[in-house]
Chains A and B, each alone.
Chain A
Amino acid sequence: MVIYRTYRWLSWLTGGLLFVLWTIVTNLGWVDPVLLPSPQTMFHTTVDFFSNGYAGNSALNHVMASVFRTFTGLAGGIVFGIPIGLLIGYYPAANAVLGPMFSFIRPVPPIAFIPLVILYFGIGEFPKILLIGTAAFWYVVLNTSNGVRSVPIDLIRAALNLGVKPHQLVFRVIFPAALPQVMTGVKTATALSWAIVVAAELVAAQMGLGYMIMDAATFFRVPYVYLGIIIIGIIGLALEFLTNAIETRLLHWRGR
């Protein structure tokens, strides 16, 4: 989101007003402090969380558990998704073989598979990473293959004309030309992966931010629920920032 410099103070103002409102309603007892803790409580909870952790695990352990699952699954989805995407984008026959299956599975919300993967693989790391990996995979495959199909024919002809070999055509021309779309897939997959990891941890985990908010809610430790949500939000924002930064650096030429 781009906000013009001139109006940036308005954004700060909104934030500031919300904070003041929050302080007032919680400190004057207008809301139940169990359901909405005050800023002071939140501050103490944060300090406590980062110094003593939660439920026997340090703050870093919880955060890293979620981040590790996300990145491992995402990396797997990308590493397998790009070649398969190139394949089905380039060869209509490969698309005919795999396309229908992909288009059936992809629209199923990945969360719907959580019970099934737990049934198959239990509640360890593998089922969560598998779930994230496959969800990321569909989006990378879909965008990569679309990207390949929309490479302008003249660009391919120009390359063939200059004497490229088939593997050079794929890796030196088609892949870079499709990269903007591949990147769109990676960005979607990243956002999605972060959502799925939290969902998976809500259901079955001993560690992680999703586990923390579920556990805290069960035991009425509401400030930890809010803290978990805030940290999840911040990391989600950071992931978006990161993928956008990679995109603008790598694809400064896109769309022009």
Chain B
Amino acid sequence: MRSTIELINVSQEFAAQSSAQKSTVALASVNMHIDKKEIVALVGPSGCGKSTVLNIIAGFVRPTSGQVLFDGSVLSGIGPERLVVFQTPALFPWQTVRDNVTFGPRMRGVAIAEYQPLAERIIADVGLTDFQYHYPYQLSGGMRQRTQIARALVNKPEVLLLDEPFGALDAQTRLEMQEMLLGIWERYQATILFITHDVEEALFLSDRMYVLSARPGRVQREIKVPFERPRRYSLFGDEAFARLKAEILAMLHGKPDAEHAA
């Protein structure tokens, strides 16, 4: 089967801005793929280039070398079929939740009759019906992320790209959001790539995960997450889950027992 997204030997070097700086090699020959309807997690130490991978797939950044394929053809720029959920919610502060959510279709001239019912359903799905006429500054952090997710979903994207979407939330809210994301994934059949620094979150949500090495980032390991769906929180107490988690953590910290990883 052809992958939805494919990165082939992708490298990224950022030029120095002044003579006092050196150029930064963020990614070195990264190969990865994301298949249709898959949830893929990207973990790795801070500064290893996770956001850069996401920016490249979104088309915000053009890789220094290598190839990015989308549905089998060379990726061309930014597009609403690959939508980003930003780590710090990038909502339009002068618009209500509802206007934020419908922003994409409105700007692209989609007929109201076409997006309105969908928008309403998605706002309900992310649990914001009672807050749809509120402004972003009147929302909690979790609600802002829900709004961002709804704003993306309304465009029926093929791929959702989430950059540490729940990183800034408290543990309780994070669990709720993870559950919501799984619900949405089932209902809307999206392909999802998400970045996280939380190994448990990656194991709970994803079908596969990529572990990147410290900078320059390269794929250190690809892990198939073996747990069956639908997944429940009881998985956190599962022995296999705990073992896999420990292995990945060891790998991230460069300990020798990384050798025994699955």
Contact = CB atoms under 8 A, between A and B. Distances in A.
Contacts of A172: 107
Interface string A154-168: 110111111111001
Interface string A163-205: 1110010001100110100000000000000000000000000
A158 B107 contact: no
A161 B93 contact: no
B104 interface: yes
A253 B135 contact: yes
Interface stretch (B78-86, B232-240, B242-250, B253-261): B78-86
Given A163-B108, A253-B135, A256-B137, A176 B94 contact: yes
Contacts of B155: 162-163
Contact of B90 (A158, A164, A179, A252): A158
B136 A157 contact: no
Contact of A154 (B90, B103, B108, B136): B90
A159 to B, nearest CB: 8
B88 interface: yes
A56 interface: no
Given A155-B92, A253-B135, A162 B60 contact: no
Given A162-B155, A164-B107, A253-B135, A152 B78 contact: no
A179 B95 CA distance: 13
Contact of B92 (A160, A176, A251): A176
Contact of A253 (B84, B107, B108, B137): B137
Contacts of B94: 176-177, 179, 251, 253
B262 to A, nearest CB: 35
Q: How large is the interface on A (under 10, 10 to 19, 20 to 34, 35 or more residues)?
A: 20 to 34
B32 to A, nearest CB: 21
Interface string B82-116: 11101010111110000000011001100000000
Given A162-B80, A162-B155, A253 B104 contact: no
Nearest to A152: B90
Interface string A36-77: 000000000000000000000000000000000000000000
A87 B84 CA distance: 28
B58 interface: yes
B194 to A, nearest CB: 16
Contact of A163 (B60, B84, B91, B107): B107
A179 B94 CA distance: 10
A154 B88 contact: yes
A86 to B, nearest CB: 16
B84 A158 contact: yes
A256 to B, nearest CB: 4
Contact of A256 (B60, B79, B84, B93): B93
A83 B155 CA distance: 31
Contacts of A155: 90, 92
Given A154-B90, A155-B92, A173-B92, A161 B136 contact: no
A173 B108 CA distance: 14
A254 B60 CA distance: 27
B218 interface: no
A172 B94 CA distance: 10
B80 A163 contact: yes
Contacts of A164: 107
A24 B104 CA distance: 69
Nearest first, the 6 closest Cβ-Cβ pairs linking A and B are A256-B137, A162-B104, A154-B90, A158-B90, A163-B80, A253-B93
Interface of A: 152, 154-155, 157-165, 168, 172-173, 176-177, 179, 251-254, 256
Given A154-B90, A157-B60, A176-B94, 11 more contacts: A154-B88, A155-B92, A159-B103, A159-B107, A160-B78, A161-B82, A163-B107, A168-B107, A253-B94, A253-B135, A256-B93
